[in-house]
Amino acid sequence: MANYWQIEGQKTFERLQPRLENIISDLPQEDQTKFWERLERQMPDILQTLVPLYGERYDFFYHLETILAAAAEYYLRRPAELKVLDVEREANTSWFQSEQMMGAVCYVDRFAGDLKHLAGKIPYFQELGITYLHLMPLFLSPEDNSDGGYAVSDYRQVDPALGTMGDLRELAHLFRENGISLVIDFVFNHTSDEHQWAEKARAGEDAYREYYFFFRDRTMPDAYEQNLREIFPEQAPGSFTYLKDIDMWVWTTFNTFQWDLNYSNPVVFREMLSEMLFLANVGVEIFRLDAVAFTWKRLGTNCENQPEAHLLIQAFFAIMQVVAPAVLFKSEAIVHPDDVVRYFGRGDRAGKECQISYNPMLMVLLWDALATRKVNLMNYALAKRFAIPDNCAWVNYVRVHDDIGWGFADEDAAMVGINGFDHRQFLNAFYTGRFEGTFARGLPFNYNPKTGDMRISGMAASLVGLEQALELGIAEYIEHAIRRHLLIHSIILSIGGIPLLYLNDEVATMNDYSYEDDPNIAQDNRWVHRPYTDWENNALRDIPGTIQHRVFSEIQRMIELRKSLPALAGNEMKLVNTHNGNIFGFVRSPDRVDKVMVLANFSEHPHFILKEVLIASGLSHKIDDLITPGSIDLKSEAVVMEPYQYRWITKVD
């Protein structure tokens, strides 16, 4: 039986079709048919999302029409090659859940210089087996400080230092030919203050004033700030910025030069939709939706994770399904775990919002387990929260370009007897080197004296202790640090979802303190973990006996192994009670014969678990550890785990 939205959708579709017809009338009949089919199918979703957002307006239908006219325009211009991909992906919607998927992320300039030279790195990506590459923001942005490009001045112009839009188009094509999906940020919560919309707004053009949030005095900012979280309390306190020239305040959640867009204005929705569709037509296959939590404001709340923030993404997605259904959305929500998972969409909307999402909780739990050597919090939290809708996937990572904030749930911690606040204080002390006996060399990021909160900067290799160990010159510590680094990578590569490698971690690059000398970025210590790739150092990956070689070849081997194990596809993961507080364990695809059990010892001491643990999971005979073949004594009662050892155990013939 048709529901309300289906009936409304059908009516609206019929009403709009004649008006949209002439936009795509030049396309081959087959393409036109496809457009109408998709639009008809998506119309209920389009209405179900846009009506609650803008339906109260007297001119709603006018806006709906211009939004869909924009969709038709970009469909008209969508390159044939991408239309083919659309059809392929429509027939294979779970493509991104494959065990073949392997993600990586890098800065174009810091990794390769510019877009042209990045194309030259394709053999390197292939050496690692990368199939998904996230390029950090690369559009025009303010010269001095642009928050690493997260302040976009023009979504249609590449930063001239990196190349042109033509180069990006060419690169996307080359990537696709080589089995790599291009992932780009869609920074849609804010623009830079140098974006032409911002400049026009500043110059007093009324229509553009409505693109942002302006206030004549502090009344409203004060009212809002009662409940707002400060994101950068050190470098950009508060959430509003005073503009002296026009004597007004503007909403800036992040830095002073990042102006929040006002999505209660449907024109902003349409403009940003157009920017996104434009980039989809350049060949972007996955949009990393930046700062998804902040896009909708509501007085009296913290203005994060509002219901409308979800509707906005769902509306973008429904329209994307008409114009460029090959495209996926990835959520960047660094918020409470309950809120993170909501960006997949809930109930019958699961998979209709973001299909993939950073998994900040796993990242945090890995660092927690390394510091405490205990896996209890990780076990509890993952048992409760790892499962997600079947048609979605986590993106699992050990670190990325941002700070590490201790985003586990306090209520989970309490369940295993941990006080969340105190534990964060401990983790902060541990990872900034202030805890006795720590191995970590991280930096405190944005300490907020009002809340006692801070986050951590630092390269993975420095956080796992390599920097300290090399300085002390103690072989055992160096060994432990390398093993910790590999251990956490072994988890993200196997636990379910898309693993995301932060490039330079494959050769265990350590903190880069040179940012301190650059006045534009010296105040933001996240740059300590955004190094320029040193290709001479990287070349040591080919020289046996070096740390670079050991780490690179081991990560590379695990990626290869991953791709040979169909049980590692998808999300299905069952935690294993190892009866040992230091050993983490899970089984992937437990119902398959070729299931894989992963065991990881988070301590620098050897431990063992009883064979029964394996037997209970159906792994009793003809088994082997694929990481260290032949290392399990099949006759013994127990499986020994060396310090920081990890095993991937499966049946063998």
Which x/- pattern over 445-474 shows residues binding ligand GLC (rule: CB under 6 A)?
A: ------------------------------
d(CA 252, CA 249): 9
Q: Does 524 bind ligand GLC (CB under 6 A)?
A: no
Residue 196 · residue 205 · CB < 8 Å: no
**Considering beta carbons, is residue 99 or 332 the nearer one to ligand GLC?**
332
Instruction: Give burial (CB, 10 Å; 0-12/13-18/19+) of 245.
Output: exposed
**Considering beta carbons, is residue 150 or 344 the nearer one to ligand GLC?**
150
Stretch that binds ligand GLC, among 146-154, 310-318, 422-430, 502-510 (CB under 6 A): 146-154
- The one catalytic residue in 159, 290, 412, 467 is 290
Crossing angle, helix 29-54 and helix 60-77, to 10 degrees? Answer: 150
Stretch that binds ligand GLC, among 122-130, 143-151, 374-382, 503-511 (CB under 6 A): 143-151
Identity of the residue numbered 324 = A
Q: How far is the CB of 148 from ligand GLC (least distance, A)?
A: 6
CB-nearest residue to ligand GLC: 150
* Phi, psi at 588, each rounded to 5°: -95, 135
Q: Does 309 bind ligand GLC (CB under 6 A)?
A: no
242's tokens:
């005073």
Query: Is residue 332 flagged as an active site residue?
Result: yes
Identity of the residue numbered 328 = L
Q: Does 150 bind ligand GLC (CB under 6 A)?
A: yes
Residue 97 · residue 569 · CB < 8 Å: yes
Q: Return the biggest CA–CA distance within the chain.
A: 80
Q: How far is the CB of 597 from ligand GLC (least distance, A)?
A: 34
Closest CA to 406 of 373, 445, 433, 352: 445
d(CA 595, CA 597): 7
Among 86, 167, 332, 554, the residue binding ligand GLC under the rule CB under 6 A is 332
Q: What pairing do the DSSP bridges indicate for beta strands 596-601 and 583-588? A: antiparallel
Among 74, 208, 254, 584, the residue binding ligand GLC under the rule CB under 6 A is 254
Q: What pairing do the DSSP bridges indicate for beta strands 214-215 and 248-251? A: antiparallel
**Considering beta carbons, is residue 332 or 554 the nearer one to ligand GLC?**
332
Q: Does 334 bind ligand GLC (CB under 6 A)?
A: yes
Q: Does 148 bind ligand GLC (CB under 6 A)?
A: yes
**Considering beta carbons, is residue 231 or 388 the nearer one to ligand GLC?**
231
**Considering beta carbons, is residue 254 or 439 the nearer one to ligand GLC?**
254
**Residues linked to residue 607 through DSSP beta bridges, in sequence order:** 641
**Considering beta carbons, is residue 404 or 469 the nearer one to ligand GLC?**
404
Q: Does 521 bind ligand GLC (CB under 6 A)?
A: no
CA 68 remoteness from chain centre = 29
608's tokens:
């063992």
d(CA 86, CA 69): 20
**Residues linked to residue 574 through DSSP beta bridges, in sequence order:** 587
Closest CA to 651 of 577, 599, 603, 597: 597
Q: How far is the CB of 311 from ligand GLC (least distance, A)?
A: 19
Please tell me the count of residues contacting ligand GLC according to CB under 6 A: 14
Range 16-55, binding ligand GLC (CB under 6 A): none
Among 64, 231, 361, 597, the residue binding ligand GLC under the rule CB under 6 A is 231
Which x/- pattern over 167-196 shows residues binding ligand GLC (rule: CB under 6 A)?
A: --------------------x---------
**Considering beta carbons, is residue 43 or 261 the nearer one to ligand GLC?**
261
Identity of the residue numbered 79 = P
Q: How far is the CB of 401 from ligand GLC (least distance, A)?
A: 6
Q: How far is the CB of 184 from ligand GLC (least distance, A)?
A: 13
**Considering beta carbons, is residue 86 or 290 the nearer one to ligand GLC?**
290
Residue 431 · residue 463 · CB < 8 Å: yes
DSSP character string of 284-318: --EEEETTGGGS---TTS-SSS-HHHHHHHHHHHH
Q: Does 290 bind ligand GLC (CB under 6 A)?
A: yes
SS3 letters across 13-74 = HHHHHHHHHCCCCCCCHHHHHHHHHHHHHHHHHHHHHHHHHHCCCCCHHHHHHHHHHHHHHH
Alpha helices by DSSP H, 343-464 = 360-372, 376-385, 410-415, 420-431, 460-463
Stretch that binds ligand GLC, among 32-40, 145-153, 204-212, 431-439 (CB under 6 A): 145-153
**Considering beta carbons, is residue 195 or 607 the nearer one to ligand GLC?**
195
CA 163 remoteness from chain centre = 25
Q: How far is the CB of 238 from ligand GLC (least distance, A)?
A: 15
Which x/- pattern over 395-414 shows residues binding ligand GLC (rule: CB under 6 A)?
A: ------xxx-x---------
**Considering beta carbons, is residue 147 or 353 the nearer one to ligand GLC?**
147
Query: What is the four-CA torsion angle of 460, 461, 463, 466, rounded to 10 degrees?
Result: 170
- The one catalytic residue in 332, 353, 402, 403 is 332
Among 99, 109, 114, 147, the residue binding ligand GLC under the rule CB under 6 A is 147
DSSP summary character for residue 404:
B
d(CA 535, CA 113): 12
Per CB under 6 A, residues contacting ligand GLC are 147-148, 150, 187, 231, 254, 290-291, 332, 334, 401-403, 405
**Catalytic (active-site) positions:** 290, 332
